[in-house]
Chains A and B, each alone.
Chain A
Amino acid sequence: NAGVTQTPKFRVLKTGQSMTLLCAQDMNHEYMYWYRQDPGMGLRLIHYSVGEGTTAKGEVPDGYNVSRLKKQNFLLGLESAAPSQTSVYFCASSYTGELFFGEGSRLTVL
């Protein structure tokens, strides 16, 4: 029972490069979320999805795009990475409001 799995776990990018973070959950949850965590701060919501084929903006969506083509997967894309996007990214899924988190993806943008 894997729960929520994020890939990759670590990535270093140069400014302007693009990349995609993949989140997969095996709990058949409708809701999925992408958060970022920066030092000294709590988590901030980037984008979320309330079901397959739907996405919506969270608190800090600029510079990110997402897709939810399959219920179990939620992809987070950076089209043109910036140093301000250096962070730890967490994916989570939910059915009843309690969130289940992945282990995080640490992204560094040089």
Chain B
Amino acid sequence: SQQGEEDPQALSIQEGENATMNCSYKTSINNLQWYRQNSGRGLVHLILIRSNEREKHSGRLRVTLDTSKKSSSLLITASRAADTASYFCATDRSNTGKLIFGQGTTLQVKP
């Protein structure tokens, strides 16, 4: 069963705009991670946020975590055409890397 649900399933924006993706999960977690997948490729790790953290930044990425609401959001600022990809949240309950993935958000950034 999927732990995470992502919203929206698909998002289309213009280059330069911000993109926000949301993830909700069901059980307590040790950490939550975000991955990017370009079409036909493997997943690439973007950022990891631990359960005792509320916000984390990495370049143009900002991730928030609200454990009381069991939700997380990924914000990509000043998007580029190269950001076009699918984005997945994944939860780790035991810090063993046994991740449970959401269904993903497909982001299209139009030049």
Q: Bits for B66-80, please: 1 = Cβ < 8 Å to A, else 0.
A: 000000000000000
Q: How would you classify the secondary structure of chain A's contact residues: helix, strand, loop or mixed?
A: strand
- Asked if B96 and A42 make an inter-chain contact with CB atoms under 8 angstroms apart, the answer reads no
Q: Bits for A24-61, please: 1 = Cβ < 8 Å to B, else 0.
A: 00000001010100001111110010100000001100
A60 to chain B, nearest CB (A): 10
* Listed stretches A13-21, A71-79, A97-105; interface member: A97-105
Interface size on A, residues (CB 8 A): 25
A23 to chain B, nearest CB (A): 11
Binding site for B on A (CB under 8 A): 4, 31, 33, 35, 40-45, 48, 50, 58-59, 90, 92, 94, 97-104
Binding site for A on B (CB under 8 A): 1-2, 4, 31, 33, 35, 40-45, 48, 88, 90, 92, 95-104
